[in-house]
Structure 1
Amino acid sequence: MKAILVSKTATHLLLILGAAIMIFPFAWSVTTSLKDISEVFTYPPKFFGEKLKFENYVTMTTRFPFFDFFLNTLKITAIVTVFQLLTSSMAGYVFARLRFRFRDGLFGLYLATLIVPGQVTMIPTFFLMKYYGLMDTHGALILPALVSAFGTFLMRQFFTTIPGALEEAAKIDGCTPFGIYWRIFVPLSKPAMVTLGIFIMIGTWNDFLNPLVYLSSMKNMTLTLGLSTMQGLYATDWAALMAATTISVLPLIIVFLLAQDVFVRGITLSGLKGE
């Protein structure tokens, strides 16, 4: 009994240490956003400044179009998340429940695209976006991200865990394959959908390389690209930059905290093998 208690105590201490290491950079950025510019780089470093300077959060909006960056990112993330959830769940349902020739082979080929680095497809995608006149538009970021091999794989794994009896009962009642997908599988796939949605949202929200390649005008920039422009060539207002960084991270933290229980369930269920 004593050995079990010692083991649990050591485990919790290790988890607390890991959590503190992960939280510290974000906590430092929050406190830095409330410092005077002269207090950002001091030796020895000070976690808190002499007084809280909330003016930095006003400075970030007056010097740069921060709200434009935020709204652009929000729009792109919302569109990509909704459409990728739709396409991934539909493709996952087809590969998991429908029977047709070469199904497993097609799924294997589709899954094989996961091993292709994004840098390999970047140049062909760039020429396609240029050909269709989508350079310096949000369409260049949205269109290539509407489908996902990983999302299809995740949804397929979840759909294989749903009992076949539900599907057979729906067929007896005259339900079409799309009706079965929409009325039965989608409502039952909430954990997997939330899990995939969080992955998509974080990946799209934090994307820097694609906006850097396709966007050039300030009014179309996303948060990641906009924050990089806030660093000057000779001087940078680090306090204002940390204020902008703090605001840009908050939506991701809020979404994860609200959906963490469903997220954990989705991760667990999506890895099970069904009949």
Structure 2
Amino acid sequence: MKKTMSQVLLYVIVSLGAIIMLLPFLWMISTSLKTSTETIKIPPIWIPKVLRWANYVEAFKAAPFMRYFVNSVVVTLVTTLGQIVTSILAAFAFAKLNFHGKNFLFSFFLGTMMIPGEMLLIPNFVTLSKMHLINTYGALILPYLASFFTVFMLKQSFQAVPDSIYFAAKIDGASDWGFLWRILVPMSKSSITAVTVLQMIGSWNAFMWPLIVTNDATARTLPVGLQAFTTDAGTEYQLLMAASTFVIIPMVILYLFLQKYIIAGISKSGLKG
């Protein structure tokens, strides 16, 4: 009886948590189908009287969202690929190779994770400005081609692979490069998939940095493009929510298809809880 009650309580808590997490998304979709008058009604209206699907068409035409979409796809794919490659190489070096100062370097880079990202905005902007990369793909991509958080996660996963496998591969004549890509990476695919998805979501949703380094629509990404619905005259909430739905749906679909790899990868990296 006690076990049954505890399970029921657990399901109730989890269900409440799921409902709380879903409420903002439900409100976003509901608002995207309202009229401008219904968006500011007090008390709020959850279900509009007439579903205005035309809001999605108006939102798409209100700004060059196709250009923003292409920019977001390019930036997300390039930064994710670059970050995964550099992180795999660095994680392998810290996990399996022995070299002078390895522990000091790892501790030093680990300490950099305590630096708030906002403190790097000005130095990065000044550097890229001197390189004449402002308002280009380079400004959006270069600062995010490496991440020590990703290195840390992959290092934990690589260390879980027994050293005996590494030594056996070396005895069989495999090089470090061959062991990494033929044995270690396939064995750690769940962790690599997890950090890949997390990086893609972070890059896709990035707002502050793209806002700072872009001046016009040629290089802006989708999150920055949402500003088109906020003017001096006010905010068109129904169009803003419709456009926000465009932005969120790709990442939701990606997560739903790959969630089991994310959970498995985070569990293997030791970052549970």
TM tier relative to shorter chain: over 0.9
Cα distance in 1 for partners of 2:219, 2:104 equals: 41
Amino acid paired to 1:197: T
Amino acid paired to 1:239: Q
Q: Deviations over 1:88-119 (max 9, x none)?
A: 01100010000111111111111111111222
| Aligned position for 2:59 | 60
| Aligned position for 1:217 | 216
Task: Indicate if the aligned counterparts of 1:208 and 1:225 stay in contact, CA closer than 8 A.
Answer: yes
| Aligned position for 2:92 | 93
Cα distance in 1 for partners of 2:43, 2:139 equals: 46
Cα distance in 1 for partners of 2:20, 2:95 equals: 40
Instruction: Tell me how large the CA RMSD over aligned residues is.
Output: 1.3
| Aligned position for 1:200 | 199
Amino acid paired to 1:206: N
Q: How does 1:159-198 map to 2 (within 5 A)?
A: 159-198=158-197
Q: Give the deviation of 1:27 after TM superposition.
A: 0.7
Q: Deviations over 1:47-90 (max 9, x none)?
A: 11112111111101211111211221111111111110111011
Q: How does 1:263-274 map to 2 (within 5 A)?
A: 263-271=262-270
Cα distance in 1 for partners of 2:201, 2:62 equals: 27
Cα distance in 1 for partners of 2:97, 2:42 equals: 65
The gaps in structure 1 that reach 5 residues or longer are none
Task: Indicate if the aligned counterparts of 2:62 and 2:228 stay in contact, CA closer than 8 A.
Answer: no
Cα distance in 2 for partners of 1:61, 1:266 equals: 36
Q: Give the deviation of 1:206 after TM superposition.
A: 1.5
| Total equivalences in the alignment | 271
TM-score by length of 2: 0.96
Cα distance in 2 for partners of 1:271, 1:206 equals: 25
Q: Deviations over 1:182-205 (max 9, x none)?
A: 111111111111111122112111
| Aligned position for 2:140 | 141
Please say if 1:32 is aligned against 2:28. no
Task: Indicate if the aligned counterparts of 1:65 and 1:219 stay in contact, CA closer than 8 A.
Answer: no
Cα distance in 2 for partners of 1:36, 1:47 equals: 12
The gaps in structure 2 that reach 5 residues or longer are none
| Aligned position for 2:250 | 251
Task: Indicate if the aligned counterparts of 2:191 and 2:269 stay in contact, CA closer than 8 A.
Answer: yes
Task: Indicate if the aligned counterparts of 2:36 and 2:237 stay in contact, CA closer than 8 A.
Answer: yes
Please say if 1:113 is aligned against 2:112. yes
SS of 2:235's partner is coil
Q: Give the deviation of 1:149 after TM superposition.
A: 0.7
> What's the % identity of the aligned pairs?
37
Cα distance in 1 for partners of 2:10, 2:218 equals: 48
